[in-house]
Amino acid sequence: MSRITRRDFAKLSLASALGVSFSGRLPALVRAAEAAPQHKSVILLWMAGGPSQTDTFDLKVGHPNGGPSQSIESAVPGIQISEHLPGVAKQMKELAIIRSLTTAEGDHDRATRLMLTGHRPGQEGVNYPSLGSLFARQLGDESSDLPHYVSVSPFRFGDAGGPGFLGPNYAPLVVSGDSSDPEARANLTIENLKPPAGVSKESIEKRFELSKFLQDDFHKSVKSQSAKAHKANFERAERMIATNAKGAFKLDEEPAALRDSYGRSRFGQGCLLARRLVERGVAFVEVTLEGWDTHADNFNAVKRLSEMLDPGWSTLISDLRDKGLLSSTLIVWMGEFGRTPKINMTTGRDHFPLAWSTVLGGAGVKGGQVVGDTGKAGTEVANRPVKIADLYATLCASIGVSPDHENISPEGRPIPLVDRGGKVVEEIAVTPPSAKEPRKS
């Protein structure tokens, strides 16, 4: 697959400016560029704590395990989901529910690492990259002013989500909305992007001007890879400050009605920010909704969370569609595990990795369907088990990345994107050609 980079474009326009007539390959390249698929992205809606499948996407109405949760019909006849997700139900044609995910980690920390890397933690002593870093590497545009991987108000059990052995180029840029003030929480921003209050614009310009002098001077006498890396990174950070991150964070540019429909929660506004970042070419955005660890008072908690989840997620789908971005953006909804179908003594549900749900949408996902089922009681996978490697293979396939692709660890070991034996869930996505692409360096 030939992807035209900005540099190629520059060469092409240079060629035409110089009046060079190109024959053969070049016109074809121009046409290819015009028809080139737009930038691809992945948005992960991370449900920290482990959402209850029985009260969201795999209801057991009428069975004691179902509890008080009621279902509604979705836009796709025969598919029913929670009554607290009416917006999502309307978008069901875009969504594929996997009800038969089965994993083997029931501890928050280990399960988070499993779901966010696709590998069991500590396996073979490899520091596995997270999903975000993997896709940042596969889909990221090197010439982008923004980082490839942005994580909006991350909250996770344990230390996952990092770039692992892929290194800091693929580390998430963390966007915080950390404040107890519910209004301020929605004012998402990049840590330390804004110069401190009280320093004038003029003074900031002076700082960078002086800085440039010191840097140029240093680079005259010191030639090293590290010095080059410092320069490149400093300039990117400076550009981020100068362009205020290409304005991606100016949520107030959006119509108030659209902001309302995303929901004025940190999660809702995070989904809006995700769309703005995807528009600007960011490869991977993670938006977190935490609080799903409902060992007690499960039903009230899930209702409250659903009321934040539903407007954010459903508006994200419709907004991406309106902007023509849905076909190039994969949306993944998941947590670290599901919750026990059986209701515990404190009206809660406990950790349950054996049979649970995840939802995919957008990009190459064939929506409007359910894969697998968990029987009447929801206690085990009755049909079509999907393992973590299968899920990862399916994510890759949905966004057109070959699951065969390997990254090379610092020890020189080839580490596949998808753990050995992973099979694409063919009902959901078509496996892309397995020809190994040349590795991006």
Partner 1 sequence: MLRDISRILVTLVGISCAGVSAAEPPTTPVMSTTELANWIDERFAETWRKSQISPPEVVDDATFLRRVYLDLSGTVPPVSEAREFLAYEGGHKRESLIEQLLSDTRRPQKHSERTAAHWATLWRRMMVPGNSPEAQAAVSLEPWLKDQFAANVPYDQMVRQLVTAKSDGQAMMTIPANARGSSSPAMYFQVVGGKPESAANAVTRMFLGVRIGCAECHDHPFAEWKQKDFWGMAAFFSGVKNGVINDATPAVIRPENSAVEYTAAFLGSHEPVKTNGKSSRETLVDWMTSPGNQEFAATAVNRVWLHLIGRGMTDSVDDLAQPSDGERVVLDELARLFVNAKYDMRWLIGGICKSQLYQRRCVDLENDQSPPPGLRIVKTLTPEQIFNSLEQALALPVARADGSARFNGLRAQLISRMNEAASNRPDEFRAGIPQALLLMNGQLTTDATDLDRSRTLRGVLDAPFLNTEEKLTTLYLAALSRIPRADEQKFLLDHVSRQEQINKQNQAFAEIFWAILNSPEFVLEK
**Contact residues: partner 1, CB under 8 A:** 109, 122, 124-125, 127, 147, 158-159, 162, 167-169, 171, 173-174, 190-196, 198, 203, 206-207, 210-211, 213-215, 217-219, 222-231, 233-234, 236-237, 240-241, 411, 413
Residue 139 C-beta: closest distance to partner 1, Å: 18
150, 282 contact by CB (below 8 A): yes
Give whichever of 68 and 122 is closer to partner 1, judged by the CB atom: 122
Residues near 377 by beta carbon (within 8 Å), at least 6 away in sequence: 60, 63, 65, 341
DSSP E strands in 376-421: the ranges are: 406-408, 414-416
The β-bridge partners of 288 are 46
Give whichever of 235 and 307 is closer to partner 1, judged by the CB atom: 235
Residue 169 C-beta: closest distance to partner 1, Å: 7
For residue 434, give the nearest of 386, 396, 390 by alpha carbon.
396
Assigned token pair, 297: 């008072």
Residue 283 C-beta: closest distance to partner 1, Å: 15
Residues near 177 by beta carbon (within 8 Å), at least 6 away in sequence: 152, 153, 184, 185, 186, 187, 188, 189, 266, 269, 270
Residue 237 C-beta: closest distance to partner 1, Å: 4
* Total residue count of the chain as it appears in this document: 441
Assigned token pair, 102: 């089965």
Give whichever of 21 and 225 is closer to partner 1, judged by the CB atom: 225
Which residue type, as a one-letter code, is found at position 183? E
Give whichever of 194 and 250 is closer to partner 1, judged by the CB atom: 194
Residue 149 C-beta: closest distance to partner 1, Å: 10
Give the DSSP letter of residue 362: E
The β-bridge partners of 43 are 285, 331
Give whichever of 216 and 307 is closer to partner 1, judged by the CB atom: 216
Residue 204 C-beta: closest distance to partner 1, Å: 9
Give whichever of 25 and 223 is closer to partner 1, judged by the CB atom: 223
Q: How far is CA 94 from CA 54, 202, 313, 314, 367, in A?
A: 21, 49, 12, 10, 4
Assigned token pair, 380: 């085990």
Q: Is 278 left (phi over 0), alpha (psi -120 to 50) or beta?
A: alpha
Give whichever of 378 and 422 is closer to partner 1, judged by the CB atom: 422
Residue 293 C-beta: closest distance to partner 1, Å: 19
